[in-house]
Structure 1
């Protein structure tokens, strides 16, 4: 059972997850866990940003849907056993595909959430 403070913190995070964010021109990541390999997975996809601030497919110029079955190939695959290892590979080894600090902070938070889910057996759903 959650305490009142924990409930309020979850509600705050839910509200913050629905705020407007400026998208990273270098692309986006889809994060998942591979339980068989015991790894956190981060696949990087390229995109362009249109005049309305929407992420678009660089090949077609069409806005990318937020849900549904979009069949695109990632530009880069990152895999690691821990969030720290994934951040080091992504940000410290020169392979970074991130140009915004808020995007980097978001990825760090998500990698930690994915690591917790990976080792606890909980389901991971990217925010």
Structure 2
């Protein structure tokens, strides 16, 4: 049975609604710079509180998922491809800024989406 694009999109949209545990090693904001033809990933540290929410380690305030937050990143990674970013983050950075395998898999998927958007000119919005 062939899956159509709409079917694949529906599967991904449903899976995007599932609960995921947050990585105590931090989170990434991914974006493109089309002029430089680069994918960027800013890493931010956080602490996970007793309710499973990410909090700013300096202020103790909960970091909202859907609002713009003014925080200072710890590191900025960049690459021309998803693979280049993954090698930089997971193989060349010690200690690795990712501690959960599902977070690593998520980042790999997002970096591929960002790379496709960069190459095709499509809009990229991080999931």
TM-score of the superposed pair, with normalisation by structure 2: 0.94
Secondary structure (helix, strand or coil) at the match of 1:88 reads helix
Aligned to 1:13: 12
Aligned to 2:82: 83
Cα displacement (A) at 1:4: 6.1
RMSD (CA atoms): 1.2
TM-score of the superposed pair, with normalisation by structure 1: 0.94
CA deviation vs aligned residue, 1:69-93 (integer Å, no higher than 9, x gap): 2101110000111101000101111
Are 2:109 and 1:114 aligned?
A: no
Which runs of at least 4 in structure 1 moved beyond 6 Å after TM superposition?
none
Aligned to 2:100: 100
Distance in 2 separating the partners of 1:34 and 1:43: 13
Aligned to 2:40: 41
- Number of matched pairs: 125
Secondary structure (helix, strand or coil) at the match of 1:10 reads helix
Tell me, which stretches of 5 or more residues in structure 2 are unaligned?
Answer: none
Distance in 1 separating the partners of 2:74 and 2:3: 43
Distance in 1 separating the partners of 2:35 and 2:16: 30
Tell me, which stretches of 5 or more residues in structure 1 are unaligned?
Answer: none
CA deviation vs aligned residue, 1:44-65 (integer Å, no higher than 9, x gap): 0000001000011111111101
